[in-house]
Every structure is written in structure tokens, then in C-alpha cells.
Amino acid sequence: MAYVEIVDSGKTLKIGLPAVINIIFDKELEGIYKSNVVDIDFGNKIMFLSIPSIKGRFIPIPKGVRMTVSLFDRSSIYEFDTISLGITKIDNIYVIPVPFPESVRKTERRRFVRIEVFLEGRLYLSPEQDAESFPFTTKNISAGGIMLITRKYLNVEDIIYIDLTLSSDLSFNRQKSKIARRDEHTEEGFIYGVQFLDLSVALETKLVRFIFQRELKMKNMKK
């Protein structure tokens, strides 16, 4: 379960952290955007974000647009409400400066939530190119693993390798994983809880952001 606390922004915000920008108060720009922290002016409490993108398109956020910024590290999400100060340049890079407060909301979510995702993938019994493979369908996903259904019988503790595409910039290619548990057999096949093993920092960061973006979309739809 997520745990939220208020922390000092000066001790937690860092250059290079991936970010998600959520805009809900401007109908033309409403959406969830990807970005990164390019620079931070702690003296003036101004953060400089890369030009946000959505579905591969870069969208400059004009001055005055209100937004919520969420930043990620491996174990937490840092969130604050702010406003765009327009577009400027730092070292020939266009950025969007936004003020940040003295303190931000920190969410400890090492294993994070599970979200429903129904996608097709393949599992392999070894990392070899010609390894035997079987199709599967995902039921949900978290930063730590997935629940999938397949007609292949597997044992708890079995090591498998997963191919799965979640988005245009997020996919697993022979990702080493472990069968953590097996649920009851259904007409569709066997249901397994699968734990990712040796997940790279870069891939885990992308996965956390993907999950968080899906969460935000679900929350925004309910508003």
C-alpha cells in the first residue's frame, strides 16, 4: 500500500529524474506528458523540465498553465502542483521552468500498485534464440512483475524469459523472470504470478512511469 509523507524538496529533487506532467485544468492541453528534469535552481526554487511529449509529439506548455509534476526514483514518487513559466533556453536546449515548493509529497511505493493490462506476449523456457516458446496474455502488471495466463504448465520457481511490448518505447526482450505462484487452472489456461528478475534501472524507471501514467488516466476519467 502506498505511503505518503511531506519531505524537504531541497533534499529530494535531483537533476535527471524522469517526470510525468498531468494537466487537467486546460481543455486544449489536457493530458499526461513525459518529461525529465534538466536543471534545478534551488536558490530561486525553479525547476527546468524538458519539453513534454505525448504519444511521441513534443508539446510546449505556455506560460500560466497549471499542472501537477511527478518525479521518480527507484523507490519513490515526488509530486507537487505548479504552473508553467513559459519556454526558455539552457545551453541551447529548450526547457520549461516551473516553480517548486519548500516541500513535496513523497510516495513510498517500492512494489507499487497493480494495474489491469491485457496484452499478448511470449514466454521462453531459456534465453537461447531457438528456445521453445509459448503465447500468454497479461492480466495485470506492477513494477515487480505481471500476472499472466497461458496454456503452458509451469512450476513455481521456474525461470522463464519474457517478450512483451507495453508501448512504443517500453518493451521486454527475453526478460528473465520467475514463476512466483500458480493460481487455479481455468478454461483459458494456467494463471501465474511472475516476478521480474535483474530488471535494469532504466527499464524499471520506464515501467514505473508507464504504470503511473495509466493510474493518472484512470483517476482523471473518474473526475
pLDDT digits (tens, 9 = 90+) for 28-77: 999 999 999 999 999 999 999 999 998 788 999 999 999 999 998 877 88
Output the pLDDT for position 27.
87
Q: Alpha-carbon distance 62 to 126, whole Å?
A: 50
**Tell me: the pLDDT tens digits for 159-193?**
999 999 998 889 999 999 999 999 888 889 999 99
State pLDDT tens for residues 7-34: 999 999 999 999 999 998 888 999 999 9
Alpha-carbon gap, residue 194 to 196, rounded angstroms: 7
Cell of 110: 517500492
> CB–CB of 102/171 below 8 Å?
no
Lowest mean pLDDT among 55-59, 97-101, 167-171, 200-204: 200-204
Q: What's the whole-number mean pLDDT along residues 194-208?
A: 86
**Does 199 score more than 90 pLDDT?**
no
Tell whether the model's pLDDT for residue 200 goes beyond 70. Answer: yes
Query: Cα separation of 171 and 182, whole Å?
Result: 24
The pLDDT value recorded for residue 133 is 94
Beta-strand (E) ranges in the chain?
A: 3-8, 18-23, 31-41, 46-50, 53-54, 57-58, 66-72, 76-83, 88-90, 93-99, 103-108, 115-116, 120-124, 133-141, 145-150, 159-167, 170-182, 190-196
152 and 137 in contact (C-beta within 8 Å)?
Answer: no
| Domains identified in the chain and CATH numbers | 3-110 (2.30.110.10), 115-207 (2.40.10.220)
The pLDDT of residue 167: 87
Predicted confidence at residue 223, as pLDDT, reads 60
Measure the CA–CA gap between 192 and 158, rounded to whole angstroms: 11
What is the tens place of the pLDDT at every residue in 123-153? Answer: 999 999 889 999 999 999 988 899 999 999 9
Residue 111 has pLDDT above 70, yes or no: no
Answer whether residue 110 shows pLDDT above 60.
no
Answer yes or no: is pLDDT of 3 > 90: no
3-state secondary structure of 68: strand
pLDDT of residue 77: 87
